[in-house]
Each structure stands twice: as structure tokens, then as C-alpha cells.
Amino acid sequence: MPYELKIDIQGGEEAKELLRNIDRYLPSITSNKMRKTSNLILKDLKSNMDFFFTAPRGNLKARTKLNRKAFLEYNITMPKYGQYVDSGTRPHKVSKPYLFKPWERRTGIRSLSSAIFNKGTKPTNFIYNTIYLDVPRRMDQFKNEFLAELRKIANKKGGMI
């Protein structure tokens, strides 16, 4: 006959109760933290737009928005030309040179559209910097806040996470 050793973990019932009720509060905590993190990443992206380039960008910043696709899935959308502002362009003809007129008057620089025609535009890397510098920091912040929230709930219930 095999020898059996019974192990009883103290506080195990509290942990079971906490895990049994986790479906009640986990979706709202996760959703709130994800929405907050997504909004902070959008704010970082727009901040990087201001920091990395000052040339005319139309209404790129205003048209860059956060969209909820599904539960815990958010997308940041921007006009297509945002990728060209980020990565730069080869010399090309500007299709709407009249859009540069207010900026040219304000800065005193003449014929920006002809400069783009002759030289193209330099990359600004605002998307790159957001993805590789800001997003990892925001995801760490999400993880820490999420775990802190779970610990707070666990402590209210008498258990520990």
C-alpha cells in the first residue's frame, strides 16, 4: 500500500475564493488599465510629433486618434502621410503646395514646396521613437499598475497575490 502524505496549505480557501470570483472584477480592471495605457501612448505619439519636427504637417496631430477595435484591442490611426513625415521622402512634387503658404508666411521661408521638390524631406522618426522608447515604458507601467490593483483587491478579500 503506497504511503500518502496530505498537504494542507494555510489560507488556501481564501485564495480559492479570490480566484473563483476573479471573473467578476478582472475584465473591468484590465479594460480600464488598457484604455489608460492606450491613451498615454497616443499622448506620447503626439508629443513626439511636436518634439521631432516643426515643419508643416497639416492636421496630422488632430487627425491622429485612438480607436477601440475590440475588448482590450485599441488602434491608433493617422492619415497616410504620417508615415512619410516619419520616414522622410525622396524629392517629389507637392500635390497641394497651397497648404504650405500659411507656414511660409509665418516662418519667412519661401517656397517650401520647391525645397521638397529639390531635396525631399528628412525623416523625423516620431513613430519609431514612440514604438521603441515609449511603448515599452508604458507597458511596464501597465503591468505594475495592473498587479497593484489585483493586490489591492486581494488584500480587501483577505487573500494575497
Segments making up each domain of the chain, as ranges: 53-157
In order along its 161 residues, the chain shows pLDDT tens digits of 566 555 555 555 655 665 666 667 777 888 888 899 999 999 999 999 888 776 656 688 888 898 888 877 888 988 888 888 888 889 988 777 776 777 677 776 667 677 778 888 888 889 899 999 999 999 999 888 888 887 787 676 554 44
Q: Is the pTM of this model over 0.75?
A: no
DSSP letters, the chain, are: ---------TTHHHHHHHHHTHHHHHHHHHHHHHHHHHHHHHHHHHHHHHHH--S--TTHHHH-EEEEEETTEEEEE--THHHHHHH-B-S---S-GGGGHHHHHHH----HHHHHHHH-B----HHHHIIIIIHHHHHHHHHHHHHHHHHHHHHHHT---
